[in-house]
Structure 1
Amino acid sequence: MSVLAVIPARGGSKGVPGKNLRMVGGRSLVARAVGAARAAASVDRVAVSTDDPAIAREAEASGAVVVLRPAALATDESASEEALLHALAVVGDDVEVLVFLQATSPFIDPTDVDAAVARVRAGEADVVFAAIATPVFLWGPSAADGAGAAQGWAGVNHDASRRLRRQELPSQVAETGAFYVMDAQRFRAAGHRFFGRIEPAIVAERMALEIDTEEQLLLADAHAGFFEGGCS
């Protein structure tokens, strides 16, 4: 069974300019993602989908195959699924399990990826995604009254008039965005990352940081310095 890991990494980024080449713990985000994928024993091939020559060079230097992404698939509006489908078409038709990793999650544990691949291979799930348990009290805007007036905020996953203990809250998880492991054939047919039986892979909360801002980048670098001794 062929397992392909694809890391979409386009050149444009408005929130954090040049994000995919920014450094965390002495390595670029692209290099970290490629390293995590290559360290996963279940992954046969690693590809980086990009439209950026500098990212392509970094990906190749890190040991990945580069899939040059057309400009039409590398806009702000382009979905990750478009890059994944394009990569599958370029790399080959023999892929049975697709591992979608995001470079914006710099602390991916290869053993978590391997465990998720094993679940898809065993038929336990069509899709397994990285998540953290979130036993939190969620709040949202209340529905407007008959006159259209706002009614403040109300509990989403709890009755605010009855304070539950955390362990009594409904089971729920939050995506980390780090990885999604999918049955490749069914992904091709569905065209999106969530289809069939979907299951979470609970990962360590300290490994779940996702980078979308400069502040998160600084936090990730400090995190790497603490947990990885400054460089891994």
Structure 2
Amino acid sequence: MTRTVAIIPARGGSKGIPGKNIKPFLGTPLVGHAIKAALGAETVTDVIVSSDDDKILRVAEAFGATPLKRPPGISGDEASSESAVLHAIGALEICQQAETLLFLQCTSPLTTSAEIDQVVRSRIELKGDTAFSVVEVHAFLWEIGEDGSGYGVNHDASKPRQRRQDRPRQYRETGAIYALDRKGFAEAGQRFFGRSVPVVLSDAVEIDLDTPRDWLALEAYARSVGQACE
């Protein structure tokens, strides 16, 4: 079995939802959902949580992840998730030995182990440098010009409105799962490099937890479909 290391960035300074990463979602700290999904995936060999917050690291360790203290210089509002993954590569031998680095977001707590396996396996089977989760979208997107006029982005508004089945299929990143070739990522320093493979997750939930309203909506949805914590 090749080594796939899941890295979960989880800063302590959330402003939209204070204390978000350890706030209970359906009774379990938010970071715990990502850890459980990663540990349950057949393709994942190791799970790391990178954080500047000792409380988050203690919760992560209690759920079975390896805690990694992130330096202050890459922990502020401007710090990228890539910087946390690059730090993990430099700090931990298990990351240096990995073939695949799996970057997971805490803000998608309904991500499943099966979805993680699908993305990791797709990267390997399709020989991708990056594989990432997407969902199909059907929205008509617009840009607004300086004069307030609207301009169609993915459609020609001057023509009759197309039916959904007649339009090209388009996809949106969920932001939840990225599987990266470790060597290529270390050289590129960003999540997209070389051959990128979108992996369509037909049942993925599209709500990310960025605001209190998102939190209420996603918890309500999860309860309505009977997705409870173990």
TM-score category (smaller protein): over 0.9
C-alpha displacement at 1:109, in angstroms? 1.5
Is 1:199–2:197 an aligned residue pair? yes
* Structure 1 residue runs of 4 or more that deviate by more than 6 Å after TM superposition: none
Q: Distance in 1 between matches of 2:43 and 2:51?
A: 23
TM-score (norm 2): 0.93
Is 1:107–2:115 an aligned residue pair? no
Q: Render the CA deviation track for 1:132-155: whole Å, top value 9, x for unaligned.
A: 10122111124x6xxxxx261021
TM-score (norm 1): 0.92
Q: Which region of structure 1 is more displaced relative to structure 2, 31-40 or 122-131?
A: 122-131
- 1:176 aligned partner: 174
Show structure 2 runs of 5+ residues with no match. none
- 1:132 aligned partner: 135
The number of residues matched between the two structures is: 226
- Name the SS of the counterpart of 1:6 in structure 2: strand
Letter in 2 for 1:55: I
- Name the SS of the counterpart of 1:112 in structure 2: helix
- 2:84 aligned partner: 83
Distance of aligned partners of 1:229 and 1:128 in 2 relative to their CA distance in 1, 3 Å threshold: closer
| Contact 1:136-1:166 within 8 A present in 2 as well | no
- 1:214 aligned partner: 212
| Contact 1:24-1:224 within 8 A present in 2 as well | no
- 2:99 pairs, out of 77, 96, 112, with 96
Q: Distance in 2 between matches of 1:158 and 1:208?
A: 22
C-alpha displacement at 1:230, in angstroms? 3.9
Q: Which region of structure 1 is more displaced relative to structure 2, 198-207 or 155-164?
A: 198-207
What percent of counterpart residues are identical? 41
- 2:157 aligned partner: 160
| Contact 1:88-1:95 within 8 A present in 2 as well | no
| Contact 1:16-1:212 within 8 A present in 2 as well | yes
| Contact 2:119-2:177 within 8 A present in 1 as well | no
- 1:16 aligned partner: 17
Letter in 1 for 2:113: P
Q: Render the CA deviation track for 1:82-123: whole Å, top value 9, x for unaligned.
A: 000111222221011010000011111211111211122235
- Name the SS of the counterpart of 1:5 in structure 2: strand
Q: Distance in 2 between matches of 1:33 and 1:229?
A: 15
Q: Render the CA deviation track for 1:56-94: whole Å, top value 9, x for unaligned.
A: 111000000001100111000101100001112222210
